[in-house]
Structure 1
Amino acid sequence: MRIQRAAIGAISLAVLAGAIVTVSTLDAADQHRTEVSEPPRPTATREAAPVVPTVPGWQVVTDKTAALTYEVPPGWTLAEGTETLESSSGVELGHLADFGPYLCQGAEYGRAFSGSGLTHGDPADAAAELAAAVAADQYSDGSQTAQVTLSAPMPITRTGARGTIVRADAEVTAESADHCASTKGTIVVVALSTAAGTSVVVLAADADTGSTPSAPLVSPDEVRTITDSVRPSG
């Protein structure tokens, strides 16, 4: 699959507050009062403990905006925080992670990616719409639109949050003009009702190696483990 991304700028503003302490001293001879200003003292802050992965050695991805956490294998590459991917359905995915990059005819491809974000509506409807959109986005080419088959929504509950998992299988049946890309892929969308809204995690993975068998696929067990790891952030 070939992934196109957009980089967005982020500005953070930290405001430090200082305190002026006034100390009064009394001179016994002339009863004069003197005010002494002390410099601001740093305020002690307690950093949140890092989230421990449920699978030893895996990487934890936390999307604070979407109030979601999930995990990816150690071989996946976490993208820069400003990189995003927008689906044709209008959902912007951030906190991207990639697996299996390979070069073919001068272009860079990848075997899989994940991302998370926020959408709206019922989790079952949101998951189905997003899965269909990402499947068509990633596996269609200039000469044909991929055939997309959606699974029935599977209800789930993750640490009290109710949601849905939907799987989309995409395939191009005619000969593609792009001989480097896979002709089959699987998209899994986990949608949960969280404090942030309808939060989603998308996992897209090639299902065949196409003309580049040297680039390995994500195993079904890894796909299942990534999907199972999605939960609301604590």
Structure 2
Amino acid sequence: MRFQRAAVGAISLAVVGGGIATVAMLAPADDGRTPVSALPQPTATRPADRAAPRTPGWQVITDPTAAITYEVPPTWTLAENSESLESSSGVELGHLADFGPYLCQGAEYGRAFSGSGLTDGTTRDSAAELAAAVAADQYSDGSQTAKVTLSNPTRITRDGLNGTIVHAAAEVTADDIADRCASTKGTVVVVALTTKAGTSVVVLAADADTGSTPSAPLVTYEEVTAIAESVRPSG
């Protein structure tokens, strides 16, 4: 997926389509693989929460405004607090983390990201709406809209609080005009909990295939599952 986030304030994930269209016009590599290079490590990131992780060695992320906590592997990078994203459904996500950044044909991409925030409505409706929006935002491009399939909402209980988890699968067709730097398949997981702050959400989006950029590794299924299972109320 192509990274689109702002250093100050929020931007819409929906602009991914327009940005990708420009990259898609560039010529692909002759062997069907698109060359990529690793991004330099950021010079400024935020520290992880000092709380002990439930998964040994992982980083704890706490969003005090949304009153929610979750964990990511040590290989993930925690963005500065000034960075945020806004979904096309209007939910602002902060406390961002990402994995697997790479440069391809002059643009910045990544294999996965996570973020948290607050939304209105029930956990069931909020999780489904946000999963569908982020999946379409991240995997549609300038030539086509991603096909998004939602799972049935599943009720969960985390540290005594009720919530809902929804999975979305997104897919686009790999053709001559599609973005050759991005994955054609992705998974979005939204965990929504009823907390003291309201309806709190954690979003996790991860590429499900390498597309024409196999040198950029994916997040494992086990890691995606563990991140989603780590979501819990804070405090």
When normalised by structure 2's length, the TM-score is 0.81
What is the aligned partner in structure 1 of residue 222 from structure 2?
221
Flag the structure with more relative contact order, 1 or 2, with Cα contacts below 8 A and sequence separation at least 6: 2
Query: Per-residue deviation at 1:88?
Result: 0.2
Query: Per-residue deviation at 1:50?
Result: 3.1
Query: Per-residue deviation at 1:5?
Result: 1.3
What is the aligned partner in structure 2 of residue 59 from structure 1?
59
Local SS of the residue matching 2:84: strand
* Aligned-residue identity in percent: 78
**Residues 122-174 of structure 1: per-residue CA shift (max 9 Å, x gap):** 00100000000000000000111000000000000001110000000000025
Distance in 2 separating the partners of 1:207 and 1:96? 20
Distance in 2 separating the partners of 1:174 and 1:219? 22
Query: Per-residue deviation at 1:103?
Result: 1.2
Local SS of the residue matching 2:163: strand
What is the aligned partner in structure 2 of residue 102 from structure 1?
102
Q: Does the aligned pair in 1 maintain the 2:94–2:115 contact within 8 Å?
A: yes
Letter in 1 for 2:131: A
Letter in 1 for 2:197: A
Query: Per-residue deviation at 1:102?
Result: 1.0
What is the aligned partner in structure 1 of residue 72 from structure 2?
72
Letter in 2 for 1:186: T
Please identify which structure carries the higher helix content. Answer: 2
Local SS of the residue matching 1:130: helix
What is the aligned partner in structure 1 of residue 140 from structure 2?
140
Letter in 2 for 1:178: D
What is the aligned partner in structure 1 of residue 16 from structure 2?
none
What is the aligned partner in structure 1 of residue 92 from structure 2?
92
Tell me which structure has the larger Cα radius of gyration: 1
Letter in 1 for 2:95: H
Letter in 2 for 1:137: D
What is the aligned partner in structure 2 of residue 36 from structure 1?
none
Letter in 1 for 2:119: T
Q: How do 1:120-159 residues align onto structure 2 when only pairs under 5 Å count? A: 120-159=120-159
Local SS of the residue matching 1:83: coil
Letter in 1 for 2:212: S
Distance in 2 separating the partners of 1:210 and 1:83? 28
Residues 1:201 and 2:202 aligned together: yes
Letter in 2 for 1:189: V
Query: RMSD over aligned Cα, in angstroms?
Result: 1.2
Letter in 2 for 1:210: G
Letter in 2 for 1:84: S
Letter in 2 for 1:203: L
Query: Per-residue deviation at 1:59?
Result: 0.3
Query: Per-residue deviation at 1:7?
Result: 2.9
Distance in 1 separating the partners of 2:78 and 2:113? 10
What is the aligned partner in structure 1 of residue 162 from structure 2?
162
Q: Does the aligned pair in 2 maintain the 1:191–1:198 contact within 8 Å?
A: yes
TM superposition outliers: structure 1 runs of 4+ over 4 Å: none
Residues 1:2 and 2:7 aligned together: no
Query: Per-residue deviation at 1:56?
Result: 1.0
Q: Does the aligned pair in 1 maintain the 2:189–2:205 contact within 8 Å?
A: yes
Query: Per-residue deviation at 1:232?
Result: 0.1
Distance in 2 separating the partners of 1:177 and 1:208? 15
Local SS of the residue matching 2:169: strand
5+ residue gaps, structure 1, are 10-48
Distance in 1 separating the partners of 2:106 and 2:79? 21
